[in-house]
Amino acid sequence: MPAASRPFADCPDADLAQVVGVLTDIDDTLTHEGAIEPEALAALADLRSAGLPVIAITGRPMGWSEPFARAWPIDAIVAENGAVALFMRAGELRIEYAQDDITRTHNARRLAEVAQRVLREVPGATLARDSAGRVTDIAVDHSEFARLDDAAIAKVVALMQSEGMNATVSSIHVNGWFGDHDKLSGARWIVRRLLGRDVEAERGRWLYVGDSTNDQRMFEHFPLSVGVANLMRFAAQLHTWPAWITEGERGRGFAQVAQRLAAQARDVDVVARIGGEEFLLLLPGTSRDGALRVGERLLAQLREQPLNAAGSAHTVTVSIGATQVEAGDADTAAVLARADRALYRAKADGRDRVVFLP
C-alpha cells in the first residue's frame, strides 16, 4: 500500500455521510473485459435507491456507451474523456457535446491523419476495436485485444502530443484528442447541466472512483478519491495516488464503496409529523432526481406492505409532494407552501404518486 493511500475500510463514516454524488471510471472499475460485473451493477442500483447520483466518466466512445446509458441505473455517462454526455430524459436517450459541430468536423480530419501516423510509425500499433463509435478522439489498443510494451505506449503518447493532442493512458487504451476538455471538465459540465450543482463548490462532497493512470487528475482534485485494488498494477507509472484504496478489485471494489455510501447517505435525513396525516421528510444534499427516486421508493414499499386490519389486508398508498430550496425563497414557509401545492397536485392527479414543483 503506497504511503499516500490508505485502506478504504479506514475511511471515516463522517466523511462518507457528506457525499452528495459519485463520479466513476468504467473500464476495470465497474467492468472486467468490457462487461459490467454483477457486484458493480447491483451497487449502482443501491446508490440510486439511496438517492445518490452516479455519473460515469470514461475514455470509451459515444457508440460503445449508448446501450449502457440506456440500461444501467446511472444518471449519465460522459464519454470520450469529457467530450460527449449521454443521459436519459423522459424515456429517451439524449446526447450532448462539449464541442460545437464545426469544431468536431474540423477535428475529425486531423484525428484521422494522426491515427494513420501512429499506425505507420509505431510497430504493432492498432486502433481500438471500438473506434467506429468514436466522434471526438482516437484510441490505440495496448491491453484490451492487442499488446504494446511500455516503450511503444510512450511513443504513441509522444507522437500524439507532438501533434498538439491531449493524450492519456487508461488500463486498455491510449486516447488522444484535440480540445481543452478532460474528465474533470466533463464532470463539472454534466453535474451542472443535469443536477444544477457546482462540483467546485462541493469538491469535498463528491467521491471519485478509478483504476488507472488516466484517473490521476481526478485523484488529485477530489479529496474523497478511491482506487479499486487493481490500481496497484500501475504502481510504477503513478505519480498521484488516491486518498483510499479498496480491498476488492474492479466491480467488487466499487461495490465496497457503494455499500458504505448507501449505509451513510440517508443518515442526515429528518422525518417529522406536521399534521394529523401529513409527514415532512428533509433530504439534505439531494438532487431533484434523487428526491423523486426516494419518493418512488417510498410508494413502492408501501404498496408492498398491506395493512392487516379486522382479518383483511388493505393496500396503503400515499401522495407525495416534493420541492427544493431555491436561492429566491424568502423563508421556510415559502418552501413548505410549494411542497404543499405539489402534494395537492399529486392527489388531484390520481394519488399514489410523487409530484415535484420547482
pLDDT tens digit sequence for 199-228: 999 999 999 999 999 999 999 999 999 999
Q: Are residues 217 and 291 in the same domain?
A: no
What's the CA dihedral at 306, 308, 311, 315 to 10 degrees?
Answer: -30
Residues 305-335 have pLDDT tens digits of 677 777 787 888 889 999 998 888 888 889 9
Q: Position of cell 460485473?
A: 37
Single-letter code of the amino acid located at 353: R
157 within domain boundaries: yes
Q: Domain of 85: which CATH number?
A: 3.40.50.1000
CB 208 within 8 A of CB 226: yes
Mean residue pLDDT across the chain: 91
Q: Which helix (H) or strand (E) holds 190?
A: helix 183-195
**CB-hemisphere CA count at 13 Å for 155?**
15
Last residue of a domain, one of 223, 239, 265: 265
Q: Check whether residue 14 and residue 93 sit in a common domain.
A: yes
CA dist 190 and 337 (Å) reads 31
Q: Which three cell numbers stand for residue 298?
A: 417510498
pLDDT (0 to 100) of residue 3: 57
β partners of residue 89: 92
Domain membership flag for residue 352 = yes
Banded pLDDT at 245 (limits 50, 70, 90): very high
> Distance (Å, rounded) from C-alpha 208 to C-alpha 24?
5
- 23 within some domain: yes
Same domain (yes/no): 126, 190: no
Torsion of Cα atoms, 120 then 121 then 127 then 131, to 10°: -80
* pTM for the structure as a whole: 0.74
Number of domains in the chain: 3
Which residue from 346, 339, 341, 343 is spatially nearest to 324, judged by alpha carbons? 339
Helix (H) or strand (E) holding 338: helix 332-348
Contacts 24+ apart (CB under 8 A), 294-300: 294/51, 295/320, 295/322, 295/354, 296/354, 297/49, 298/354, 299/352, 299/353, 299/354
Domain boundary among 213, 237, 265: 265
Residue 13 placed within a domain = yes
Question: What whole-number distance in Å separates Cα of residue 281 and Cα of residue 354?
Answer: 13
Are 168 and 185 part of one and the same domain?
A: no
Same domain, 293 and 234: no
* In the predicted structure, residue 254 carries a pLDDT above the cut 60: yes
Indicate whether 1 belongs to any domain. Answer: no
Residues 144 and 28 both lie in one domain: no
Q: Are 249 and 295 in a shared domain?
A: no
Judge whether 274 lies within some domain: yes
Same domain for 55 and 112: no
Taking the C-alpha atoms of residue 143 and residue 207, their distance in angstroms, rounded to an integer, is 27
User: Which one of 250, 265, 280 terminates a domain?
Assistant: 265
For the chain, the farthest-separated pair of C-alpha atoms sits apart, in whole angstroms, at 82
Report how far residue 131's alpha carbon sits from residue 141's, in angstroms, rounded to the nearest whole number: 10
Residue 343 sits in a domain whose CATH number is 3.30.70.270
Same domain membership, residue 190 and residue 69? yes
Higher pLDDT pick, 269 / 38: 38
Q: Which amino acid is at 329?
A: D
Residue 276 is assigned to a structural domain of this protein:
yes
74 and 196 share a domain? Answer: yes
Could you tell me if residue 147 is inside a domain?
Answer: yes
Q: Which domain holds residue 315?
A: 270-356
- pLDDT of amino acid 302: 75
Q: Does 243 share its domain with 257?
A: yes
Q: Residue 171's Cα: distance from chain center in Å?
A: 18
Tell whether 191 and 120 lie within a shared domain.
no
Extended strands (E) in 219-305: 224-227, 244-245, 270-273, 279-282
Mean per-residue pLDDT for 16-44? Answer: 94
Give residue 74's pLDDT band: very low, low, confident or very high (50, 70, 90).
very high
By the 8 A CB rule, do 251 and 32 touch? yes
Q: Which helix (H) or strand (E) holds 303?
A: helix 288-303
Q: Residues 143-158: what's their mean pLDDT?
A: 97
